[in-house]
Amino acid sequence: MNFPLVSKPPVLELRDLRTEFRIGGAWHAAVREVSLQVSANETLAVVGESGSGKSVTALSVLRLLPQSAARHGGGQVLLDGVDLAALSEKQMTKLRGEAIAMIFQEPMTSLNPTMTVGDQIAEAIQQHRNVTKKEARRLALEVLEEVKIPAAAKRYDDYPHQFSGGMRQRVMIAMALACKPRVLLADEPTTALDVTIQAQILSLLSELKTAHGMGVMFITHNLGVVAQIADRVAVMYAGEVVETADVHTLFARPMHPYTEALLRAMPRVDGNSAELESIPGGVPAINALPKGCAFAPRCRLKEARCEIDRPKLARVGATHQVRCVVRVEQHGDMA
């Protein structure tokens, strides 16, 4: 499962990652054999509906899931070829924020309301770098300016509640960037924002990605946002990657029936969509997954064999992989 056309080695690579949750005493997989790669200076969008396992994938990378309820069920998380699963908790703490940083949907709940935003960023810097307080303050101010907070020097000593939603998200991004991470995990960072602010944050993230040469894993449920920001896309459903391709291929020639259905279900601003096509039913619960293809119960291409064997992710193009036996057969398996 490698991409021959991607010349650079990936900074972050997930190999058959499996994450399980305990439900009623039994372990059930929320993320099932997910393989993803993010190269430097590349945005990989992970898109899916609620319950598709996209956030759990990101949290598994950083090992941020509660240990009492979740466990690593197999596979590897490789950062520059080093398996994170083998690291101790202490090494992991050092790595979080330093090599891999994460931003979340709701910045207000991730920021400390009793500390000024500048001090929070400076604290994060001192956590990872051996610098004086004064130097940390200078670096924090620099990064606040980099995320284009107007009058950053004046706002350094403001508290999070004094910022608007869009500015708070900028503060979160500043904090994530403070230690110049190689990988940024962004979990629905614009979902809580208004569209004009969302547009600003998306263009900021894309500028910063180029400026720092970061690998960005951008998690979202919004296909419109994916089209705006992604270089490559992975579509997730019921804990699996069902389709992955570069962004142009995915929108021009979606192959998996789920991707197609998602695109047809989305009302568009730029044209009169005739009839919206809804997808019947809902995402299956992780403790009630169907035996064969997880999407089969809602699929319009369903055949008898779909309900027996779980389909494999098969290559149908240079960067295009699809988990659907029916479609792969139609287009010829190139793998």
Binding site for other proteins (CB under 8 A): 49-50, 164, 166-167, 194-200, 202-203, 221-228, 230, 247-248, 251, 261-263, 265-270, 272-273, 276-280, 282-283
Work out how close the CB of 274 gets to other proteins at its nearest, in angstroms, rounded to a whole number.
10
What whole-number distance in Å separates Cα of residue 65 and Cα of residue 60? Answer: 6
Instruction: State the SS3 of 19-79.
Output: EEEEECCEEEEEEEEEEEEECCCEEEEEECCCCCCHHHHHHHHCCCCCCCCEEEEEEEEEE
Work out how close the CB of 226 gets to other proteins at its nearest, in angstroms, rounded to a whole number.
7
Region of 167 please: left (phi>0), alpha (psi -120 to 50) or beta.
alpha
Q: Are strands 232-237 and 42-47 parallel, antiparallel or unpaired?
A: parallel
Name the DSSP class of 253: S
Q: Which is nearer to other proteins, 76 or 319 (CB)?
A: 319
Q: Which is nearer to other proteins, 207 or 333 (CB)?
A: 207
Cα–Cα nearest to 310, from 325, 331, 326: 325
Work out how close the CB of 228 gets to other proteins at its nearest, in angstroms, rounded to a whole number.
5
Q: Which is nearer to other proteins, 25 or 150 (CB)?
A: 150
Work out how close the CB of 235 gets to other proteins at its nearest, in angstroms, rounded to a whole number.
12
Q: Dump strand ranges (E) for 64-133.
A: 70-79, 82-83, 100-103
Q: Which is nearer to other proteins, 269 or 304 (CB)?
A: 269
Q: Which is nearer to other proteins, 31 or 233 (CB)?
A: 233
Work out how close the CB of 9 gets to other proteins at its nearest, in angstroms, rounded to a whole number.
25
